[in-house]
């Protein structure tokens, strides 16, 4: 799984052709055979976030590797091996694969078992040993915490990454008839049975002399040791809370070591102006999308790893390219890391890019926005007589890479309603008041702007340049 394991929290719709659970008879019909997932045990379909990421991976498996991957949850009392074999044969009557590459994951909640059924064409790649390993080490830890949707998603991610590795190693067999000859493996699922050793590990102390690179090195050593202690001293308090609730597997940790290691030599530390936050980055971001930035915050005068904020704002696609969750990028602690992305624009999916046509005069502007003007209809007669009292600002434009958008998150057609907080708040702020306020926020201070966007009032906060 060549992906930061924090990304597994970040994700949804299991079905390409609808997502519903029907009777067994309906499932055996043509419509049922075309379904990606059949949730007869009713344990998956209420997790919309994970379903989105599941669909991305499932579509990628079919598009890039011609693998038809299906999932069935069941509470049947039939032997899981027989059930999986029959269901595999039934579903493959209308296989989506053109070359006989098919997989079926069966989760039996009644028997507390899981099995991944493998077609003949895929057995050299998804060997019994490999399947057994990823079931036990990659999926079962989630099932123990009754995170069945997370476990299914994680299995899909592992299947995808194995396909990528096999393609690079030219391990595919020639296309053949899609049928199962018993390939695959079954494992005890341990659904809802917690592992008392799941959160254990020796303490890793933080040191005031450690810079972010040194902290990351300590983190790598903890990963290599499969240290799952959520209360490591190198974590921020928020990260400790995050890990206390998060499922961590050996496979997650092994792959994160691989991901970090390939980028280590290129890391540079970008410190905030007040030296309270830092981003370990590989720039330019648009050329190194597989090298995730790492966030650090000073607590107790020591640099500590802020995985909690990374999990909030970062997302990863099937190619392991990181991008921002744009609605959450500047929420809570996220706004304190925005400085590290000055100079970059973001597309609609949150991928950073360097603007092609930069304004040569952009350096003259502090925030990099321009105001249009608007006024309340009731003030129409005052526009000519008292313009400074009634004319207000909407964001007419902004320069890509400038703080108005990168740090504050303002967008075109945002209608400015208010600025400031507490006793310094100005409601119904005029254009003149707004521009004066923006220029008056001290460098490193927090600018607070309330705007109306698509009919909704939202508050934007950002660190002033």
DSSP string, 406-446: HTT---TT-EEEEE--GGG-EES--HHHHHHHHHHSPTTSE
Q: What is the CATH number of the domain that holds 16?
A: 3.10.310.50
Q: What is the pLDDT of residues 441-460, one digit of tens each?
A: 999 999 999 999 999 999 99
Residue 403 to residues 294, 357, 368, 461, Cα–Cα distance (Å)? 21, 17, 7, 11
What is the pLDDT of the chain when averaged over all its residues? 84
Q: Provide the residue range defining the domain that includes 56.
A: 5-188
The model's confidence at residue 181, banded by pLDDT at 50, 70 and 90, is very low
Total structural domains within the chain:
3
By the 10 Å C-beta count (0-12 exposed, 13-18 middle, 19+ buried), 304 is classed as: buried
Report if residue 98 sits inside a domain.
Answer: yes
Start-to-end C-alpha separation, the chain: 38
How confident is the model over 401-424, as pLDDT tens digits?
Answer: 899 999 999 999 999 999 999 999
Based on its alpha-carbon atoms, the radius of gyration of the chain, rounded to whole angstroms, reads 26
Residue ending a domain, among 331, 353, 375, is 353
**Residue 288, in any domain of the structure:** yes
**Do 173 and 278 belong together in one domain?**
no
Say if residue 299 is in the same domain as residue 424: no
- The reply to whether 160 and 242 lie within a common domain is no
Average pLDDT of the segment spanning 318-328: 89
Are residue 346 and residue 374 in the same domain, yes or no? no
Over range 116-129, report the average pLDDT: 88
Give yes or no: residues 39 and 161 share one domain.
yes
pLDDT at 377 over 70: yes
**What letter does residue 275 receive in the DSSP assignment?**
S
Whether residue 207 lies inside any domain: the answer is no
pTM here is: 0.76
Instruction: Note whether residue 202 is domain-resident.
Output: no
| Residue 15 in this model has a pLDDT that exceeds 60 | no
Q: Is 201 among the domain residues? A: no
- Tell me, yes or no, whether 275 lies in a domain: yes
Tokens at 285, concatenated: 């971001």
Q: Under a CB-based contact definition with an 8 Å cutoff, are residues 261 and 9 in contact?
A: no
Please give the average per-residue pLDDT across 296-309, as a whole number. 97
Q: Are residues 223 and 264 in the same domain?
A: yes
Whole-number pLDDT of residue 228: 92
In the chain, what percentage of residues exceed pLDDT 70?
A: 85
The answer to whether residues 404 and 376 belong to one domain is yes
In a domain? residue 195: no
Indicate if the pLDDT at residue 349 is higher than 70. Answer: yes
Residue 390 lies in a domain: yes
What is the average pLDDT across 41-57?
Answer: 78
Residue 65 pLDDT level (bands cut at 50, 70, 90): very high
Report the range out of 38-52, 127-141, 406-420 with the highest average pLDDT: 406-420
When pLDDT is averaged across residues 292-321 and rounded to a whole number, the result is: 93
Q: Are residues 256 and 289 in the same domain?
A: yes
């Amino acid at each position: 799984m060549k992906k930061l394991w924090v990304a597994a929290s970040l994700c949804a719709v299991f079905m390409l052709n609808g997502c519903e659970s029907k009777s067994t008879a309906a499932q055996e019909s043509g419509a049922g055979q075309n379904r990606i997932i059949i949730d007869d045990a009713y344990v998956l379909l209420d997790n919309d976030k994970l379903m989105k990421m599941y669909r991305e991976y499932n579509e990628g498996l079919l598009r890039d590797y011609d693998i038809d991957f299906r999932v069935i949850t069941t509470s049947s009392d039939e032997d899981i091996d027989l059930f999986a074999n029959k269901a595999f044969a039934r579903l493959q009557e209308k296989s989506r694969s053109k070359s006989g590459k098919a997989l079926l994951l069966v989760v039996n909640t009644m028997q507390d078992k899981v099995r991944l059924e493998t077609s003949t064409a895929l057995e050299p790649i998804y060997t019994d040993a490999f399947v057994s390993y990823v079931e036990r080490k990659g999926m079962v830890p989630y099932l123990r915490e009754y995170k069945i949707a997370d476990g299914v998603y994680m299995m899909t991610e592992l299947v995808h990454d194995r396909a990528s590795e096999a393609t690079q190693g030219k391990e595919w067999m020639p296309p053949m008839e899609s049928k199962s000859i018993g390939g695959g493996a079954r494992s005890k699922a341990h659904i809802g049975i917690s592992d008392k050793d799941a959160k254990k590990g020796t303490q890793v102390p933080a040191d005031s002399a450690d810079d972010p690179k040194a902290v990351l090195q300590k983190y790598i050593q903890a990963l290599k040791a499969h240290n799952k202690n959520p209360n490591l001293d190198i974590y921020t308090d928020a990260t400790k809370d995050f890990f206390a609730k998060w499922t961590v597997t050996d496979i997650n940790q092994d792959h994160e070591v691989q991901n970090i290691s390939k980028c280590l030599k290129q890391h540079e530390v970008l410190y905030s102006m007040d030296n309270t936050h830092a981003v370990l980055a590989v720039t330019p971001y648009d050329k190194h999308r597989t090298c995730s930035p790492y966030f650090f915050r000073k607590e107790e005068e020591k640099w500590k790893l802020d995985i909690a904020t990374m999990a909030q704002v970062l997302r990863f696609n099937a190619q392991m390219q990181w991008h921002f969750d744009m609605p959450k990028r500047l929420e809570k602690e996220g706004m304190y890391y925005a400085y590290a992305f000055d100079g970059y624009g973001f597309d609609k999916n949150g991928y950073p890019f360097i603007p092609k046509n930069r304004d040569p005069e952009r350096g003259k502007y502090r925030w990099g926005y321009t105001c249009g003007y608007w006024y309340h209809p009731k003030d129409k007669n005052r526009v000519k007589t008292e313009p400074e009292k009634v004319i207000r600002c909407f964001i007419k434009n902004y320069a890509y890479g400038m703080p108005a958008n990168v740090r504050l998150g303002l967008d075109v057609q945002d209608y400015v309603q208010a600025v400031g907080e507490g006793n310094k708040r100005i409601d119904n702020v005029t254009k003149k008041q707004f521009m004066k306020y923006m220029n008056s926020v001290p460098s490193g201070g927090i600018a607070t702007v309330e705007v109306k966007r698509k009919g909704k009032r939202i508050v934007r906060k950002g660190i002033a340049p």
